[in-house]
Amino acid sequence: MARSSDDVTRTLPAEGDMAVPGVIFASQALLPEDPAALFAQVRNVATLPGIVEASYAMPDLHVGYGFPIGGVAATDVARGGVVSPGGVGFDISCGVRTLALPALAEEVDGRALAALMDALAEAVPHGTGPGGLARPSEADLTRVLAEGAEAIVADGAGVAADLDRTEDRGRLTGADPGEVGAKARKRGKAQLGSLGGGNHFLEVQVVEEVVDAEAAEVFGLARGQLAATIHCGSRGLGHQVCTDAVGVMREAMGRYGITVPDAQLACVPVDSAQGRAYVAAMEASANYARANRQLIAEAVRDACGKAFGSREAVMVYDVNHNMAKRERHVVDGTERDLCVHRKGATLALPAGHPDLPAELAGVGQPVIVPGSMGTATWVLAGDRGRAFASTCHGAGRLRSRKQARKRIAPDVLARGLAEQGVEVRAKSASGLAEEAPEAYKDVDEVVAVCEAAGLSRRVARLRPLGVVKG
């Protein structure tokens, strides 16, 4: 029996200092045994100055820094609405990019897959610390911070069609490289064109199931096709921008008469001097992240050229999470200028939205939702535009990294993945254990709840064949 929106929606009534209710989209299976800490974060976000409608949490929700991961909150800029770095996260504009590869799974045997994974592991820098595909000068870095993926494509790494399938066409025009501090720039210079570690990855997949044939065709996906999915963000540059901004805002809040129930929710009015500076630095970090994924996508094409004799990997989409964006939405019957925080949540524009390119207008925006190394990645499409047109960003952690390391033996995990037919290229055994499938929620249940709630709908399911991890 199909579930309704009411079946997967929980409301925490506005009480105490909460200006709006908390609304959680989740089935019982997706909530922890004791959700008190999680619910407390949802309630805390509901106290932010200028917040409208609700403090939302997506089905992949889990406890994060200040905001829950999976948290969505919009503040009214004209009515003292704030911006909070904790509502964006440290990996600014972390995102997911999928490319359709020039081969079918039936055409690739085990030896060819292993060769492709070797080529990818060699071509794409991965792991923590420095090392990237690019060695930008200060001027080059400034251009990337200002122009994002546009700068990379203009220099010949990619094609114009890549930008058509990238959120914001790969560039946020409000970015100001001058607001990115020296320490952040230093970290960024050393890491441009790299995956990083943690939950970031490069995965080769096969389109195992198509649920919405019309949307899949528009997106460029067909059953049996190979795909590559890249998950990474702004590396140390974005982390440093967030760290710097939290310090500034903690010191500045008192000047605006702002108090918060958790210091991790440090915030200032969007239109304050500190707010404008953070947004400009955040957008520059987002441009860096999109340039980063563009460079990695070109390395994927190079690896395909070695393995298949063809570089014709076609962009499906590049979508972001961990952002605060100025958007127009109708609240209480009036269109307002809002600052929409999506921390571990993804924009999901519905069909017909004016911001969609013409080729996607009939089906909605693609959303890419990775699971874990041994489970599926889903490609979704925006549905009804609920929660300021937002949806989930992944499976969501079930266990912390520390818990995963204690419970999961890396050698047993690697052996199990090999038995499933998943080729693994990882630099760190402990890092591999941290990202084991058992450490994550059931991604199929997560996307099913999104569909029941009207946040997004399922288009295609991609099964992993190989993964590169830091």
pLDDT (0 to 100) of residue 1:
59
Is a pLDDT exceeding 70 seen at residue 249? yes
Three-class DSSP category at 439 = helix
**Helices 273-308 and 138-147: crossing angle, nearest 10°?**
100
What does the pLDDT look like over 180-218, one tens digit per residue? 999 999 999 999 999 999 899 999 999 999 999 999 999
Residues 298-311: what's their mean pLDDT?
94
What does the pLDDT look like over 291-302, one tens digit per residue? 999 999 999 999
In the CATH scheme, what architecture does the domain 6-469 have?
A: Alpha-Beta Complex (3.90)
For 152-156, 380-384, 434-438, which range has the lowest pLDDT when averaged over its residues?
434-438
Q: Is 393 a catalytic residue?
A: yes
Token couple for 398: 């079930």
**Percent of the chain whose predicted confidence (pLDDT) is above 70:** 100
Q: Do β-strands 268-269 and 95-104 pair in parallel, antiparallel, or remain unpaired? A: unpaired
Catalytic option among 231, 239, 341, 393: 393
What does the pLDDT look like over 4-33, one tens digit per residue? 999 999 999 999 999 999 999 999 999 999
Contact 459, 366 (CB under 8 A): yes
pLDDT (0 to 100) of residue 397:
86
CA 233, 428, 195: angle at the middle one, nearest 5? Answer: 20
Mean pLDDT score of the chain, rounded to an integer? 95
Closest CA to 296 of 468, 129, 92: 468
Say how far apart CA 441 and CA 228 lie, in whole Å: 22
pLDDT (0 to 100) of residue 426:
83
**Domain boundaries, given as residue ranges, for the chain:** 6-469
> Residue 45: how many CA atoms within 13 Å on its side-chain side?
39
Contact 53, 334 (CB under 8 A): no
More confident residue, 439 or 75: 75
Which region holds residue 464: left if phi is over 0, alpha if psi is between -120 and 50, else beta? beta
Residues 429-450: what's their mean pLDDT?
86
Contact 341, 73 (CB under 8 A): yes
Q: Could you tell me the pLDDT band of residue 95, with boundaries at 50, 70 and 90? A: very high
What does the pLDDT look like over 384-421, one tens digit per residue? 999 999 999 999 988 777 787 788 787 888 788 888 88
**Whole-model pTM?**
0.96
Say how far apart CA 274 and CA 429 lie, in whole Å: 41
pLDDT (0 to 100) of residue 409:
81
Contact 297, 162 (CB under 8 A): yes
Which region holds residue 350: left if phi is over 0, alpha if psi is between -120 and 50, else beta? beta
Is a pLDDT exceeding 70 seen at residue 139? yes
Contact 321, 393 (CB under 8 A): yes
What separation in angstroms does the CA of 400 have from each of 95, 101, 408, 413, 433?
Answer: 21, 33, 12, 17, 11
Say how far apart CA 111 and CA 131 lie, in whole Å: 29
What does the pLDDT look like over 443-466, one tens digit per residue? 999 999 999 999 999 999 999 999
| Amino acid making up residue 164 | D
Residues 312-337: what's their mean pLDDT?
97
pLDDT (0 to 100) of residue 368:
98
Is a pLDDT exceeding 90 seen at residue 88? yes
pLDDT (0 to 100) of residue 16:
97
pLDDT (0 to 100) of residue 437:
77
